Amino acid sequence: MQAVHLVDDRNSVKLPFITLLISLFLPVLAGCGFNTIPTNEEKAHAAWSEVLNQYQRRSDLIPNLVETVKGYAQHEQAVLTGVVEARAKATQTNINADMLNNPEAMQQFINNQSNLTGALSRLMAVAENYPDLKANQNFLALQSQLEGTENRIAVARRDYIEAVRVYNTALKTMPTMIWTWLWYRDAKPMPTFSIDDAAEKAPKVEFNK
Q: Where are the domains of the chain?
A: 36-192
Mean pLDDT confidence for 88-97: 89
pLDDT in tens, 150-168: 999 999 999 999 999 999 9
In whole angstroms, give the CA distance from residue 87 to residue 52.
Answer: 14
pLDDT in tens, 41-56: 999 999 999 999 999 9
N-to-C CA span, the chain: 104
Among candidates 155, 164, 35, 40, which has minimal Cα distance to 101? 164
pTM comes to: 0.76
Q: Phi-psi category of 33—alpha, beta or left, where left has phi over 0 and alpha has psi -120 to 50? A: left
Given this structure, which CATH class describes domain 36-192?
mainly alpha
